[in-house]
Every structure is written in C-alpha cells, then in structure tokens.
A = this chain, B = another copy of it.
C-alpha cells in the first residue's frame, strides 16, 4: 500500500493544507518517505459534521452489525501485512517482535470488543415494570438503557503506535459503544496512522456504515487537536500522553459552552513496595527482575516502575546492588522520538542534580541518536515526602529507590504519592500484615494493585483497570484498557410508559436481545 499523506475525512482522502509532517526513524535520524500535511479547523469541522450525521444511525446499528464492523477492522489491519510492521518499526524504533505482538494485541482487542458488543452487558438494561395497583399512587413503567454519548475525539499515544493509536483501545471502545470517532493522528508515526486509518475506512465501506463513523486528521501544530475537542458535535475525548498535553486538552473540554468528558491518561510512576520478608528471601532476584521491567521498551510505558519503596536494611542493599549491576549491564535502547529522548535526558539530569538524590547506576551509552541510558537513583523517604519534584514522571528507563527508616515512613511515603495507574507489592507470607496496612492507602492511590509481579504488561480483559486517580488520569472512574473501557462513552436514558413499538430493542418487553436485565433491582438469571 502506498502512503499518500492525506487526511481521511469520511470516505474521502484529501491532502492537508498546513505544513508537512515528516516521520523520523529515531534509530537513524533519517527522514522517512511521504509528507503528511496537517489539516485545518475547517477539515475538523467537516469530519465532525460527518460524524454528527452518522451518529444516530451508527449508534442504533444492530449489535451484530457493530461487532462485525470491529472484526472487519481487525481483518483489514491484518491484511496490510508486513508493510504495517515495517513502517511502525521505522517510525517508532521499537523492535519488530514488539510491533508484531502489538498488532496481535490491537486486533485481539477489537475482536474482544466485538464479543463485548454482542453480549450486551454494556447496555445496562434496568426494567421497573408498571404497578398500576400500587397505593397510594400507581407506578409507571420505567426502562433504562445506555446509549452512546456521541462522536468521540481520539488522541493516540506515541508509545503504542498500534494498540493506543488510530485503531487502539480508545477507538475500539468508542466504536463499540456506538460513537463515531475522529482521530488526531500522532505526528511521530503518521505513516502507521495512515495505514491503519485506511484499514478502518475500508471496514466502514465494507460494512455499509455511514462514512462519518470514522475520520483521521494530521495536525501540523495544535490547530486540529484544539478545534477537535472544541467542536460542538464532539461529545467526549480519549487521550494518552503527557500530563501537559492532557491537561491542556482537558481544559478545552471543560471550558466549552457544553463541557464534555475527556479521558486523559497522563502520568504515573507506579510505586513498587518491597516488603521486608520478600526482600530478605529474594532481594537479589527481585533486583534483577525489577530492572527487566524497568528497561522494557526503553522504559516507555505508562506503567514503568519509576519508584521503589522499602525499609533500609542489608536486604535492601542486596536488592540495590543487584539492580545496579543489571542497570550497568543494560544496553542502550532507541527511544521513540527526539523529543521524548530530550525530555528523558532532562528528567534524569534534574534528578541527578538534586542534592537529596544519589545516583546508583547508569546503563551503557549508545552510539546512535536518541539512545536511552537507563538510570537508577536512591533517596531517603523523608526527602521524597518533602520534595514533590522527586515524584515527577521521567518517561523512560529511570527509577528512584526510596529508602525509608521504618514501616511508618513507608506508609507516609505512600500517603504522599499522587494518583497512580498501578501499585505493586513484592511480598511473602510474612508480609501479610504489613501489606494489609498499606492496602487501603494503595486503593486510594491507584487503579490496579498487584502482588509479586511488575506493572509493565497490561492484560486486555474484563477485570483490568488501566486508570486511577489524578494525575494518572483525568477521571478515576474509568479504565482505558479492557472491556470496561466501553463504559466511558455511554450514558443512561430512561423510557417511561413508551409504547412497546416505540421502544428500542434493548428495553422491549419481549427482551429480544436476551439480556440479563436488572428487573425490579434483581438480576435476571
């Protein structure tokens, strides 16, 4: 498939009129073929007009039609073949195996949402039948279902050019909910975006859906992104990226004449608590495994373990020594973009320059551009509590070990944490009571709490929460990974005494979708 660098507006492909975006291979610094000209506010308006027009039809498409559409997108992405892998590798600097795995995850995710759509649990149907003889007043017939919010703006992430981008989790869950999607393509992987965008476009056509169900625009500056969130036809947004970018778009979403939900997944340092018994039993092994998680994908994961908390002891020293050795042996890895590499270097330098912080180890220097040289640092618990700059996310392979005087200080550090995507306990049986003391704090701080694993690696399933209190996300009530992500793009509507012929299928008396409804507050079996 040849790239054209065009904007995809409904079924059209048109060249943008703003400055061209050119993708850079971060591993070599080379410019990759094709210029992707950015769109204008007018292009945004056209895409949103089409999305608005498509909404009522698309949201009432049958569950089967919508599920089949999601599966067709997955098929079309797979049909691109090696061209997609090659372009994504070139644009991201990520290894081929990783990108292949990510394609599997992306298509698997679309198919899981197809299954979720068919199951219909997300419709949230509640029925309270009329009670005409109730005293002192009869009860009317009331039926609730969830409907889609409206067209959704999606901002993909740089670090998952497939799974969190054009046809990633936000798009899949919004489409599953019945929302048309307008994507702002990520400028770090515009060719990957075009390939996937054209796959979605083809699926829309193949499934006979209104063209406005999907559009994708390049943005040379902030014009497209800002206009997109501000457009009155857009009713929600999904974003994965930096805190600064997320907050800027959140602000636009909240200041509109009609404010809208904006789900920004932003910043997390994913604290890992090394509990005493675990540390004693396996400090060295934990140190090595920790660095495996730290270095994964050059540390460019939202769930990278950026903070390790433990009580000072010889066991902690053993952990630190093992981790330091592993870090020193770490080969440099190519980062996603020059901008991310610069921010990483700046973050690590700032940490190293902090008088309260001791550098423990750095990884090997690389010899190409944009190389991530892993970093490991130590600070005292009281200093981390006192200096919030030590909690700033460094996107990349860098972590700060927090040495606490005692268990009480560990608790105080936990209480001082900002909101997180994850919190991890490395614990053995002997740590159960101490872990029980920490758990309520961690529940308040994080969306996912794990034992004896590492935060990197996010399963796409039903029970996953990839979310958490601010600033991990802008809305702790949600997850951006897993089937519960669909709930972000729905709202309840209640139908009172409507004639059955006028009722949507989901709430009709005969229950044609065979849903297990909440009937008078009881779940149907």
Partner-B contacts on A (CB < 8 A)? 55-56, 60, 115-116, 119, 121, 126-128, 139-140, 142-144, 147, 149-150, 250, 254, 258-259, 261, 419, 425, 427, 432, 435-436, 439-440, 443-444, 446-453, 459, 461-465, 467, 469-471, 474-479, 483-484, 490-499, 501-502, 516, 518, 520-523, 525
Which of B55, B126, B425, B479 is close to A492, meaning CB atoms less than 8 Å apart?
B479
Question: Are A459 and B144 in contact, with the CB atoms below 8 A?
Answer: no
Which of B119, B250, B462 is close to A128, meaning CB atoms less than 8 Å apart?
B462
Q: Which residues of B contact A520 (CB under 8 A)?
A: 462
4 A-B pairs closest in CB distance: A450-B496, A465-B494, A142-B463, A144-B463
Question: Are B259 and A470 in contact, with the CB atoms below 8 A?
Answer: yes
Question: Are B494 and A448 in contact, with the CB atoms below 8 A?
Answer: yes
Q: Given A432-B502, A462-B128, A502-B432, decide whether A451 and B523 contact each other with a Cβ distance below 8 A.
A: no
A414 → chain B closest CB, angstroms = 12
Question: Are A142 and B464 in contact, with the CB atoms below 8 A?
Answer: yes
A71 → chain B closest CB, angstroms = 16
9 A-B pairs, CB-CB below 8 angstroms? A116-B521, A119-B521, A126-B463, A128-B463, A140-B453, A149-B476, A258-B471, A451-B497, A451-B499
Which of B127, B451, B492 is close to A447, meaning CB atoms less than 8 Å apart?
B492
Question: Are B464 and A494 in contact, with the CB atoms below 8 A?
Answer: yes
Nearest B residue to A495, CB-CB: B449
Question: Are B453 and A497 in contact, with the CB atoms below 8 A?
Answer: yes
Q: Which residues of B contact A254 (CB under 8 A)?
A: 254
Which of B60, B143, B525 is close to A525, meaning CB atoms less than 8 Å apart?
B525
Copies in the complex: 2
Nearest B residue to A436, CB-CB: B502
A491 → chain B closest CB, angstroms = 5
Q: Which residues of B contact A261 (CB under 8 A)?
A: 475, 477
Q: Which residues of B contact A492 (CB under 8 A)?
A: 447, 465, 467, 477-479, 484
Question: Are A493 and B448 in contact, with the CB atoms below 8 A?
Answer: yes
Q: Which residues of B contact A119 (CB under 8 A)?
A: 521-522
Query: Interface majority SS on A: helix, strand, loop or mixed?
Result: mixed
A242 to B452: give the CA distance in the assembly, Å.
Answer: 51
Q: Which residues of B contact A450 (CB under 8 A)?
A: 140, 495-498
Nearest B residue to A479, CB-CB: B492
Question: Are B459 and A497 in contact, with the CB atoms below 8 A?
Answer: no
Question: Are A449 and B494 in contact, with the CB atoms below 8 A?
Answer: yes
A124 → chain B closest CB, angstroms = 8
Which of B435, B451, B493, B497 is close to A443, meaning CB atoms less than 8 Å apart?
B493
**Among A447, A478, A492: residue with most chain B CB under 10 A:** A492
A147 to B250: give the CA distance in the assembly, Å.
Answer: 25
Q: Which residues of B contact A439 (CB under 8 A)?
A: 502
Q: Which residues of B contact A465 (CB under 8 A)?
A: 144, 492-494
Nearest B residue to A440, CB-CB: B56
Q: Which residues of B contact A144 (CB under 8 A)?
A: 462-465, 484
A317 → chain B closest CB, angstroms = 27
A225 → chain B closest CB, angstroms = 20
Q: Which residues of B contact A499 (CB under 8 A)?
A: 427, 432, 451
A171 to B512: give the CA distance in the assembly, Å.
Answer: 37
A140 to B461: give the CA distance in the assembly, Å.
Answer: 11
A392 → chain B closest CB, angstroms = 15
